[in-house]
Amino acid sequence: MRAVDIIADKRDGKELTGEELGFLIGGYTAGQIPDYQISAWAMAVFFRGMTSAETAALTRVMLGSGAVIDLSGIPGPFIDKHSTGGVGDKTSLILAPLAAALGIRDPMMSGRALGHTGGTLDKLESIPGFRTNLSVGEFRSILAKDGFAMTGQTREVVPADRLLYALRDVTGTVESIPLITASILAKKAAEGAEGLVFDVKYGSGAFMKEASQGEKLARSLADTGAAMGRRIIALLTGMDEPLGNMVGNFLEVEESLDCLEGAGVRGRPGPEDLMEVTLELGARMAVLGGKAKDAAGGRALCEDCIAGGRPRELFLRNVKSQGGDPVKLLELRGNWRSPVGAEIRVPPGAGESAKNGVSGAPLYIRRIDAWKVGNAAVALGVGRNRTEDPVSPTAGIQFHRKRGAPVKAGDPVMTVWSATEEGLAAALPRLEAAVEYGAEPPSPQKLVLKEITAGPAAAGPDASTGPAEGGR
């Protein structure tokens, strides 16, 4: 085989075999095929796409480039969840102990914040002492004991993905759906998951801005995962607004604890949008894990489980297992914030043009733009623009009112905490601009748009693109 022939075949729209992909990716990982040839191949894939079978073959090749975590000897089922990234999305922190309480083991390999999206590892590491750099032995031991374990990707797991992603990042090929699919699924298969629930987000705060883009990625993940023998369910969910009332690393840990104590469930005050998405994802994990026959039954099971308190117990037990201090966590809860702060209130004259000059007319929050909030959060110190950037555990935003809330001038909308004065000065105008007011309440918004499983709709080459793995 010659790399140039494989590149030319893909350039001409031909379907590559597993052997050809193995030669290409294996040669690149071994340093025998240069960057410029892989760049040419990636651009050909960007424009020509891949069939489901071809994407599955690429995923297997990438999976085989490194270590696969061996979970033999630990009773399953092993079901994980993956999100394509959003603002305020802390569902993994709630779902992992919830699944464990249902008798499902969740081997969760997560990522860090990058750009405007948050990272599960950064949130967990805001807990004093919590470790996410687990060895394989530690990962297995904690998974067996607690029912879930949270770790980051090691250098030994899917090294081909690490090399290929870095190259795609500088060659304009990040947005290829087949390459995104292979990147995500190879890492998830390496952690040992037998079934996967994908939360594919679309909207201003997601990498996929349009629902149609998100659906193409969801179908690619479902079809390719099925071709690899994994049980897959994908949910297409909205990310036009931040999820929940907290954005920030330790703040989101606190909100996760609130949810594990029942907030937002069955009429109890709390972040109903966050719990709606969490419970729908948990319902599908229950179905894939054989604990429920359908999503409705799975959701009821999840609600009962949270009400019983077992997921909270497992969350705190896992904190201790991974080196954290659960007593310190509970002591800091509600008190640990960055010293630099401010409050954003409804400004005088907000929404005047929408009220047509009618004095005293009602005013509503019509939208809080998730993308603007996410970028402001980076300025505050919550996230990072480069992988080596540090993050603050205590910076963040708490929303007091969100979409659809009736307001008047002077009402508090959010409290903001920053790691630095400069960060606060940069973030405040972005946050003020993120809030849209109007004389009419917004129409009801469906957070979970649809469920997608493997099927004929995704058959054939898919050259569709949409940004990045994101993902937690």
Is 321 tagged catalytic? no
Is 82 tagged catalytic? yes
Catalytic position from the list 80, 122, 146, 161 = 161
Is 116 tagged catalytic? no
Contact 126, 249 (CB under 8 A): yes
Catalytic position from the list 83, 183, 220, 392 = 183
Sign (positive or negative) of CA dihedral 237, 239, 245, 246: positive
Catalytic position from the list 187, 201, 284, 366 = 187
Contact 117, 385 (CB under 8 A): no
Catalytic position from the list 82, 216, 284, 472 = 82
Is 187 tagged catalytic? yes
Catalytic position from the list 123, 168, 284, 401 = 168
Is 70 tagged catalytic? no
Contact 341, 431 (CB under 8 A): no
Provide the annotated active-site residues. 82, 161, 168, 183, 187
